[in-house]
Amino acid sequence: MGISVDHLWNLSKEFIRDSGLVRQHIDSYNDFVERGLQAIVNEVADLPIEIGDYPLKIKLGKIEIGAPRVIEVDGTERSIYPAEARIRNLTYSAPLHMEMIPVIGEREGQPEMVYIGDLPVMLKSKICLLSRLNPEELVAVGEDQLDPGGYFIVNGSERVIVALEDLSANRILVDTEHTGVNPTYKAKIFSTTVGFRARIEVTMKGDRAIYATMPGIPSDIPLMIMMRALGLEEDSKVAELVSVDPKVQDELESSFEKALEANNPKDALLYLGNRLAPGQVDEYRLRKAESVLDRNFLPHLGRTPADRREKALFLAEIAARIIEVKREIRTVDDKDHYANKRLKLAGSLLAELFRISFRNLTRDLKYQLERITIRRHIEFSIANAIRPGIITERVQHAIATGNWVRGRIGVTQLLDRTNFISTLSHLRRLQSPLSRSQPNLEARDLHPTHYGRLCPNETPEGSNCGLVKNLALSSSISVGIDPHEMVDRLRRMGVTTVEEADRRLRGAGGKVFVDGIIAGYTKDPAALAEELREYRRQGKISTEVNVAFHPSEKEGGRDELYVNCDAGRVRRPLLIVEDGLPRISEDHITQLEQGRVTWQDLLRMQVVELLDADEEENTLVAMYESDLRKDHTHLEIAPYAMNGIAGSLIPFPEHNQSPRNAYESAMSKQALGVFSTNFFTRVDSRSHLLHYPQAPIVDTRPMEVFNYHQRPSGQNVVVAILSFQGYNMEDAIIVNKSSVDRGLFRSTFYRIYEAESRQYLGGLRDKFEVPEAGIRGYRGDRYYRLLEEDGIISPESDVTGNTVLVGRTSPPRFLEEYREFEVRGPTKRDSSVTMRPSEQGTIDQIFITESIEGSKLVKVKVRDLRVPELGDKFASRHGQKGVIGLLVPQEDMPFTVDGVVPDVVINPHAIPSRMTIGQFVETLGGKVASQVGELMDGTSFENIGPHAISEILGKLGFQKSGRETLYNGITGEKLAADLFIGVVYYQKLHHMVADKMHARARGQVQMLTRQPTEGRARGGGLRFGEMERDCLIGHGASALLRDRLLEESDKYTAYVCEICGTLAYYDIKQNKYICRIDGEKATISPVSISYAFKLLVQELMSLGIVPRLSLEERA
């Protein structure tokens, strides 16, 4: 008997609940707070203060983080919840305190707990107040109980740290390049240690010699010189280290030849020194070379002279791999294989940022202490010398702008709150650092190892296609453990170090790697792999560890064993299979369903395990239980969990052409719905709310875990497929006007306007009031009509474009303004906040509060009712989008004998070329669901299928095809053909005509060019572009051309001297035009030109070029 689909679903649901939808961020952040912070402090450890008189240093001790709080302008400290931070534009952050112990000579002073700065708190992380609240309490503190957390609030705005997909560190990746006559073989290693990343390249060039590069040395260094610099003198030993295979050793010949000039370590170091500091004394060059070698070459193996031996071994391994690829006994590495990728999450990115700002803080502290103590010889206080702003501001600024260390930009993004799905999807997004302007074709492709880790459907179209990805539901990100413990354990399990391994073992055994460290050799790597896995299952080693055995790929190659325990590996759960039977039983799942065991228990019970892409290469996974054979090692839990959040919304996606699912994945993030239940107290600068959201009657299983039924973003509508009067051609849709009357797809649009009363230098500040008539910038009485005495508009008043929402007066901008009005004293100017010119609405709510600087902060929320109208955009869940082409009264719509009238009529031409059969199946499923009164399950691969649905439809008395006889609502005749009609879930997308329609007869011009402005917000004109211009030229319509491009644009009368052809100027005293060159004898004529042309002439003049206009009488 097999395990039922329902049971497997409950299992996979439990996995998702256990790992949480944004758990990757939260785990990573928690790890940073618990271990990362202290590790960064420990890197510095001691801070020597150089003050000459006596030896003083500061020992850095324990770092501690407090609870989220805010310090008001009056100095009071108060704990805050995120809701307050959002409304008051605050940062949700917690204070960091560090133990500092002054050490004078050998004597330790009194430890001091010093405040060193604020760290923004990730919502729902361990230190976030929300993580301890139950749903009711969450609602009480103003949160949506289903909000996932995993983001930050900085200056009131929600920022996500988008996960970064990077090549894994400390791994050797060999590739070939076929550019020259001979192919080149290149090995790349991103050697990474805390806070430092060195890109090492080792290349076998056309001359068959191997060279290495590293940061700090501009040129290539021959392999053997590197080896000798690392302390290896004898050629035979180097050759032996690279390989025991004589054929491989022979390939080193060219490399040895390149190093003849330096055949001992000292000469090799001098060789390096020459490249670093040419012309300096030997002593200096030696020191420089040693320092670069220790610090910049393979830093992940250590950064002291003692680590050179280890580095030599690693370099030998790189060389061996290059030669093996060249000799074709090893294949090149696949850069896009997910075993070679790691995700950098909030924790590690914050660690990078914090390290830099912490170093700045200690440097500044050292400087301050040295300055104070030297000058005044007083008892110093660390707390007084420290400037916490260094950390606070640096970290906050980086999160607020996304500008990270090392010039990386766009690391954080404003959390997408269009709807609940877009928020979740945003939190599960990952970005590739690869340039989007370059093709990077392979990197954009879906790789087989993405299966179950990344969503195959959800990626943007266009430049970011395949570079921006989303996590699959079944993915989980490793947090990592210390690799050195693993190395020790392996040694105890019989792994022989490279030094101790004899020739036989090195030839016949397998090399073992732990996170890019060579652990040694083992006799039987396959057996060791099995042993390690058994240990992991038994809980003897961490479940974070994955083991991959790479057997020799070709005749003459080597066996290798990889033990991965680093962070950022994307893993997925699988059922363990033994002798063709899954270890899990119905009993396990029943216990799980009853809450008697958890997912973690199942891991311990050795029935499930998490595999990374590397270990998965050693498995044979059956898709279904019925497929199981003796040689299977694992079984899939839920095939549909390979989709991400957005992909899981689509019912019957396996019936669609694949790109349609990708389009829908992108579109579902633009649908209006309930983005959050605390929308009433939220102050997002713009947001939408659908009035009557419905859960889809054709749903999918995964919707349950991301609560789509509680936070839906669409409505179920009756859809008929018919070319009705042609108003639905080209993807338009026809909507029943009576349905709209009844409230279909109504929504509200909200916009927040902000006004703050700022304080200026000299004690002046803005004031909220109804501005007096006549002050600078006064707009006219009618715009201030709705303001109350406090200068703020009254709630529920209807407003249109340019209406003043908050009346505000500011002190004059420039000091000169004082002088002008000295007699009357400083005057005020109007700096009121007004409605956007093209918008209207009703004042919904007003938030009056205080910012962190203590100034009054007003936020005005304006709402606007949006009833569907011609041109509004809608989409089904199958990438079928369209705008309303016509609203038809119900009596004109076709009707069935039951009196059913479609809400939406789509055109049949939308189907054949797009092949969205899934929508047909949904239509049938929706019809059945609405008749039976039960939800229809449309989960991909696991649904009952179109035929079964058809059969039910038949039993319900409908045609199995889903078609029905309809009557023409206008003529009353039967329609010649039966129509396909059923219930489909439609989404209203946020592209609405009310936000876009725009026309202009006359209006503003730009200051510089005097051409009409651009864009709706500025009342701009519609561009008469190059192609339009070409069109008129083609038609010879010169009068129209002149009208568009000159008369109605930037016509200008320039006065030009006929003799010299330069522009003349007007002298107001002489009341005439004057040419500076020809003076009295000039003849000056007016010329009609484009102002932009006049500007060009003057710009050229400023460059020292004289453009001369030669004038002629008009023919």
Residues that bind another protein (CB under 8 A): 680, 691, 737-739, 741-743, 746, 748, 796, 842, 844, 863, 865, 889-891, 895-899, 965, 967, 969-974
Q: SS3 helix, strand, coil % of the chain, rounded to 5?
A: 35, 25, 40
**Shortest CB 898 distance to another protein, Å:** 7
**Shortest CB 631 distance to another protein, Å:** 60
Active site residue 587: no
**Shortest CB 968 distance to another protein, Å:** 8
3-class state of residue 731 by DSSP: coil
Q: Enumerate the β-bridge partners of residue 834.
A: 804
Angle at 287 between CA 285 and CA 293, to 5 degrees: 100
Nearer to another protein, 709 or 974 (CB): 974
| Distant-in-sequence, close-in-space partners of 35: CB < 8 Å, separation ≥ 6 | none
Nearer to another protein, 643 or 748 (CB): 748
Angle at 757 between CA 756 and CA 763, to 5 degrees: 150
Nearer to another protein, 897 or 1008 (CB): 897
**Shortest CB 157 distance to another protein, Å:** 25
| Candidates 18, 731, 790, 995; catalytic one | 731
3-class state of residue 254 by DSSP: helix
CA distances for 256 relative to 121, 206, 251, 253, 298, angstroms: 56, 15, 10, 5, 22
Q: Residues, the chain, total?
A: 1115
3-class state of residue 167 by DSSP: strand
Per-residue burial over 338-361, b if 16 or more Cβ lie within 10 Å, else e, is bbbbbbbbbbbbbbbbbbbbbeeb
Structure tokens at 961: 């095809």
What's the CA gap between 73 and 508, in Å, rounded?
Answer: 72
CA distances for 1006 relative to 966, 1012, 1049, angstroms: 57, 6, 11
The answer to whether the beta carbons of residues 345 and 330 sit under 8 Å apart is: no
Q: Look up residue 880 and give its amino acid.
A: Q
Angle at 872 between CA 871 and CA 874, to 5 degrees: 125
Nearer to another protein, 6 or 891 (CB): 891
Nearer to another protein, 502 or 891 (CB): 891
Nearer to another protein, 401 or 896 (CB): 896
Nearer to another protein, 89 or 747 (CB): 747
Nearer to another protein, 367 or 680 (CB): 680
Nearer to another protein, 360 or 710 (CB): 710
Nearer to another protein, 407 or 957 (CB): 957
Q: Which helix (H) or strand (E) covers residue 60, if one does?
A: strand 56-65
What is the full DSSP assignment across 382-416?
A: HHHH--THHHHHHHHHHHHH---GGG----EEEPP
**Shortest CB 695 distance to another protein, Å:** 18
For the chain, helix (H) and strand (E) counts, in that order, are 32, 54
| Distant-in-sequence, close-in-space partners of 1048: CB < 8 Å, separation ≥ 6 | none
Structure tokens at 463: 């430049």
What is the full DSSP assignment across 601-625?
A: HHHHTTSEEEEEHHHHTT--EESSG
Structure tokens at 79: 């704990």
What's the CA gap between 1077 and 1074, in Å, rounded?
Answer: 9
Nearer to another protein, 83 or 949 (CB): 83
Structure tokens at 95: 């204070």
| HSE, side-chain direction, 13 A CA sphere, residue 176 | 17
Which of 429, 428, 339, 345 lies closest to 612 in space, CA to CA? 339
Helix ranges restricted to H, 377-510: 382-385, 389-401, 420-427, 441-444, 483-492, 503-508
Say which residue the tokens 């001359």 belong to.
207
| Distant-in-sequence, close-in-space partners of 10: CB < 8 Å, separation ≥ 6 | 589, 592, 593
What's the CA gap between 194 and 356, in Å, rounded?
Answer: 11
The answer to whether the beta carbons of residues 748 and 689 sit under 8 Å apart is: yes
Helix ranges restricted to H, 80-222: 82-87, 135-140
Give the N- to C-terminal CA distance of the chain in Å, as an integer: 99
3-class state of residue 133 by DSSP: coil
What's the CA gap between 804 and 779, in Å, rounded?
Answer: 9
Judged on CB neighbours under 10 Å (0-12, 13-18, 19+), 252 is buried
Nearer to another protein, 325 or 904 (CB): 904
Nearer to another protein, 899 or 1036 (CB): 899
So which residues are the catalytic ones? Answer: 731
